[in-house]
Amino acid sequence: MGNGPLAGVRVLELAGLAPGPFAGMMLADHGAQVLRVDRVETVRALGDRPHGTALDRGKRTIGLDLKSPRGVEAFKRLAAQADVVIEVFRPGVAERLGIGPDDLHAVNPRLVYGRLTGWGQDGPLAGRAGHDIDYIAISGVLSMLGRAGEKPTPPINILGDFAGGGLMLAYGIVLALFERERTGRGRVIDAAMVDGAALLFALFSPLLRPGPDGGPLAGWGERGTNLLDTGAPQYDTYETADGGYVAVGALEPRFWDELVARLGLEDLPDRNDRANWPAIRARLAEAFRSRTRAEWEKIFEGSDACVFPVLTMSEAPRHPHNRARGTFVEVGGGLQPAPAPRLLGGGHGDLAPATRLHDLSSWGIDAETARALRDEGVLA
């Protein structure tokens, strides 16, 4: 058990796709005791072997048949001992199973019930299927992602699922736990990925043209033609001689001047005139293709030109900065991102791979009851 700020907080995590486990991981990373409730057959197949990805680290697991009345009864016993439940079903499913917020608040009024869905618990789309790409599409975010003249490009499933979903849910849970210290009562959290994705783009809200139809963006050009979306040559990636890439973020004038000087470029057109951007980009692209990525790292070492290598996922843990900070940690023989953010002067939760929990006595299920449930095939 870790000694993070959430030490002593008990979380029941209903098994689901990645955003739910990500929220549970965020809580476990900071000391919460997370018990993942999976399908009976899944847990039996895994046995007592450590299992799971980084999203399951620091957790314990059990299998429980929630379609069985006895399984629902057992889950309510667990919930009576919990501080938090993470539920990732479509709206109404938990209620039909008998483990919705009202059901569990009847046995534990202090429970924080976190619900994570793509569309939210209400609204015309609430009952529809969807994935990250759909949620960021409806939020308007996807329309802004991609290069000029090309179709919108989703950044894998990071913005909707993880940032707009799992991370927002973890944040909401911590808010509700903080509030509970004052009120003594739990709360239901409706975390919707479409809401979270929209919030992530709050910076661009002044660009929205008011009107009954929502309107197009005002003061912002077409996708891929702006300062921060690869439209500007000073904020983009460039290929190097060996097929690698560097990322350039020389926005401020003094950073730009240093970039140009270290590239050895002269007589560049004025970058403040957007009409010059294609010509400037061509000059930068030609310059970067003249040397390898490693050579450019040496040239820009110690500079404020905001030029850094685009590392692969396997290269990132070996970068000196990441190594110095311990940005990646070894867990179960593999590398994973370390807990974030860091609370200086304190510890974090146990990062060991997820393991099966046999003794449920501290969760309100004694050994005899657990044995009977296992004999019935309800518990694993």
* Structural domain spans, the chain: 10-199+329-376, 235-312
**Residue 321 is among the residues annotated as catalytic for this protein:** no
Tokens of 346: 């304190």
The region that residue 81 occupies, defined by phi over 0 for left and psi between -120 and 50 for alpha, beta otherwise, is alpha
Distances (CA, A) of 266 to 182, 259, 276: 63, 11, 15
Q: What is the pLDDT of residue 209?
A: 63
Evaluate if residue 53 carries a pLDDT over 70: yes
Residue 213 has pLDDT above 60, yes or no: no
CA-nearest of 129, 127, 72, 128 to 100 is: 72
Which pLDDT score is estimated for 65?
Answer: 97
Tokens of 152: 């919108």
This prediction has a pTM of 0.92
Paired with 188 in beta bridges are 113
Query: How much is the mean pLDDT over the chain?
Result: 94
What pLDDT digit, counting tens, does each position of 111-136 carry?
Answer: 999 999 999 999 999 999 999 999 99
Residue 80: C-alpha distances to residues 76, 83, 111, 267 (Å): 6, 8, 8, 71
What's the whole-number mean pLDDT along residues 12-35? Answer: 96
Separation of CA 178 from chain center? 22
Average pLDDT over residues 265-285: 96
**What kind of fold does domain 235-312 have according to CATH?**
formyl-coa transferase, domain 3 (3.30.1540)
Task: Measure the CA–CA gap between 44 and 226, rounded to whole angstroms.
Answer: 53
Please report how many Cα atoms fall inside a 13 Å half-sphere around the Cα of residue 95, on the Cβ side: 5
In three-state secondary structure terms, 36 is strand
Amino acid 248: pLDDT: 98
pLDDT value, residue 221: 82
Indicate which residue of 38, 65, 134, 161 is catalytic: 161
Q: List pLDDT tens digits, range 307-343.
A: 999 999 999 999 999 999 999 999 988 999 999 999 9
Architecture of domain 10-199+329-376: 3-Layer(aba) Sandwich (3.40)
131 is an active site residue: yes
The single residue of 51, 131, 190, 319 carrying the catalytic annotation is 131
Mean pLDDT, residues 89-108: 98
Tokens standing for 173? Answer: 């849970």
Q: Where are the alpha helices (DSSP H) in the chain?
A: 19-29, 40-46, 69-80, 93-97, 101-105, 132-138, 168-183, 193-200, 253-263, 277-288, 293-299, 320-325, 367-375
Specify the amino acid at residue 298.
K
**How many residues in the chain?**
380
**Span of 175-179, 207-211, 222-226, 376-380 with lowest mean pLDDT:** 207-211
Q: Is the pLDDT of residue 210 over 90?
A: no
Cβ 94 vs Cβ 76: under 8 Å: no
Distance of CA 320 to the CA centre of its chain: 25
